[in-house]
């Protein structure tokens, strides 16, 4: 089934890519000079089995890729932001819930604040001292949070975004990041979902409209390149 779906999607992408090119889409935003890494919802409720939010290809693709990016950021001193989601009032009957109306669509009550074991960042990519751990309440890591202000204060002009899901929180974060004036890079191998075809379609469409989709290897090389330049400038 997956092979058949990929074949159908590739045919659709070929036709859509031609239409996009004819109409001026798929332009490149490019890398800037000061990057930051944003890992979206790579917490236990999304990365470990047995939760409504559990996603696919976490162990064999996403975690190894994010580990490479973390290593590159840490050796070069680039900012790292770990984003997770939880709710102070997870009672759907309580009108004062911080879930807003989103619980009418998806089971976000599954990550209550009093269960940090669920919304804690996966231990395989555990935050180090000095790295931000940001709690969001909505899909986008920018919506209602201090993220944009934090990035601007750090002089960041480029965000590399990983995490889950391609169809929701990652996509919304990239859209808002671009709207807030940051160069947006979606790291191809480090973005997942829980529905077949969702990653491929969303990355294709994101690349046409909201961000450049780049490989882990290209992003690691970029992080090292700008890190070397910054170290050289600081040494002068």
How far apart CA 28 and CA 31 sit, in angstroms, is: 9
- Cβ within 8 Å of residue 36, ≥6 positions away: 78, 79, 80, 81, 151, 154, 156, 158, 159, 160
How far apart CA 42 and CA 121 sit, in angstroms, is: 6
Q: Which of 73, 86, 169, 175 is catalytic?
A: 169
Q: Cis peptide before 22, with omega less than 30 degrees from 0?
A: no
DSSP conformation class of 122: P
SS3 23: coil
**Residue 55 annotated as catalytic:** no
- Residues marked as catalytic: 169
């Amino acid at each position: 089934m997956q092979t058949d779906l990929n074949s159908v999607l590739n045919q659709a992408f070929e036709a859509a890519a031609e239409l996009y090119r004819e109409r001026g889409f798929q332009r490149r935003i490019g890398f800037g000079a000061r990057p930051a890494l944003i890992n979206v919802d790579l917490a236990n409720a999304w990365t470990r089995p047995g939760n409504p939010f559990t996603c696919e290809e976490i162990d064999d693709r996403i975690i190894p890729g994010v580990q490479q990016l973390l290593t590159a950021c840490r050796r070069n001193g680039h900012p790292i932001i770990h984003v997770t989601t939880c709710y102070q009032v997870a009672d759907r009957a309580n009108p004062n819930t911080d879930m807003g109306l989103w619980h009418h669509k998806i089971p976000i009550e599954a990550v209550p604040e009093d269960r940090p074991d669920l919304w804690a960042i996966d231990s395989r990519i555990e935050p180090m001292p000095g790295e931000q751990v940001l709690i969001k309440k909505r899909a986008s890591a920018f919506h209602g949070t201090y993220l944009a202000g934090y990035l601007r204060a750090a002089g960041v002009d480029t965000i590399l975004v990983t995490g889950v899901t391609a169809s929701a929180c990652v996509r919304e974060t990239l859209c808002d990041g671009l709207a807030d004036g940051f160069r947006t890079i979606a790291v191809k191998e480090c973005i997942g979902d829980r529905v077949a075809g969702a990653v491929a379609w969303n990355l294709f469409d994101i690349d046409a409209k909201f961000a450049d989709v780049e490989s882990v290897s290209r992003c690691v090389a970029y992080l090292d390149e700008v890190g070397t330049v910054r170290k050289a400038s600081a040494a002068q």
